[in-house]
Structure 1
Amino acid sequence: MKPQKIYRIVADIEAVTWALLIFGMLLKYAFDVTEVGVKIAGPVHGLAFISFIVLTVLVWANNRWSPLRGLVGLASAVLPFCTVPFERSSAKAGALDGDWRADNPLTAPLTGHPRLAAGVLGGGILVIFAVMLVIGGPFG
């Protein structure tokens, strides 16, 4: 899958999980109804967040983004719903064009063995996610 397509999918998923988390937080903190929304949406959003961060670093290296674009990409995951406009503006600017580069040491494994690379990346993301679950959420 080309960087542009996977980046769009992950950016959209990250934004949707923000909405779910905010809805869960409203139910828990504003209306004092239930905390089940936060207990479910929190980890789901955490997984989407980590995935977006890892993918942003890979695309940053692959597409040779400027430091500013890369840092804005990382920051877009922190602010609710900002991954979508960042991805759309990057696509419009051509910053997501092309395929995975075989001449980049960080992304070269993605070109030679894409299924293996996807499995290793997915496994790495799950390990980070598991560690974060053990450590706890951002607010304890």
Structure 2
Amino acid sequence: MSLPSPRHLFRAAAAAEMVTWAGLLGAMALKYGGATDAAMPLAGGVHGFVFLCYAAVTVAVWIDGRWPTGRGLTGLASAVVPFMTIPFERAQARRGEPADRWRVLDRTPTGHTPAEPTAAERLLARVLRRPAASATAALAVVVVVFLLLLAAGPPTEWGR
């Protein structure tokens, strides 16, 4: 399994999040416009799944790029506002981020002593060194979280 660069992975996740927002908003327009609510379960489910995947990718590039906390949280929050993942991704691209290579996997001498890797960076490196097994495990975690959220029902019914 070939490992995509952080930049390509983040760009794809941001685009997927935007597309699923469009699908969800379209399904909501059909439902609340009185046409049909048949599209809501599929659109909501797909959007929720992609939202969780975007969050996982954002955390990975946040750790790899050593983003400041505010930037990482802004990246996560951009998924909550319809279509904001693309402007956020483009703003990061203008900064040259995420990188074209996974920094946590870079073993190239740089001529200076690198900072000691954090526990999160060591975990991310371990995950990236075994992409097939890690992708399977990550997918399993996302599916479990997705199923738990699905069982909990719509967020509007959580306090009832």
TM-score, normalised to structure 1's length? 0.93
2:142 and 2:27 map into 1 onto residues whose CA distance is 24
Determine if the alignment matches structure 1 residue 8 to structure 2 residue 21. no
1:83 match: 85
2:133 to 109, 112, 116: 116
1:65–1:95: 8 Å Cα contact kept in structure 2?
no
1:124 and 1:115 map into 2 onto residues whose CA distance is 14
TM-score, normalised to structure 2's length? 0.82
1:43 match: 45
1:25 to 24, 28, 35: 28
Structure 2 spans left out of the alignment, 5+ residues: 106-116
1:27–1:35: 8 Å Cα contact kept in structure 2?
yes
1:106 to 112, 123, 148: 123
Aligned residues: 139
Letter in 2 for 1:126: V
1:95 match: 97
Q: Any idea what SS the aligned residue of 1:15 has?
A: helix
> Mean alpha-carbon deviation: is it higher for 78-87 or for 52-61?
52-61
1:56 to 49, 55, 58: 58
> Mean alpha-carbon deviation: is it higher for 107-116 or for 85-94?
107-116
1:62–1:106: 8 Å Cα contact kept in structure 2?
no
Letter in 2 for 1:42: G
Q: Any idea what SS the aligned residue of 1:36 has?
A: coil
Could you list the structure 1 runs, at least 4 aligned residues long, displaced by more than 4 angstroms after superposition: none
> Mean alpha-carbon deviation: is it higher for 106-115 or for 13-22?
106-115
Q: Any idea what SS the aligned residue of 1:96 has?
A: coil
What is the CA distance between 1:95 and its match in structure 2? 2.1
2:26 and 2:128 map into 1 onto residues whose CA distance is 39
Q: Indicate the RMSD between aligned Cα atoms, in angstroms.
A: 1.3
2:135 and 2:95 map into 1 onto residues whose CA distance is 26
Letter in 1 for 2:142: I
Structure 1 spans left out of the alignment, 5+ residues: none
Determine if the alignment matches structure 1 residue 134 to structure 2 residue 159. no
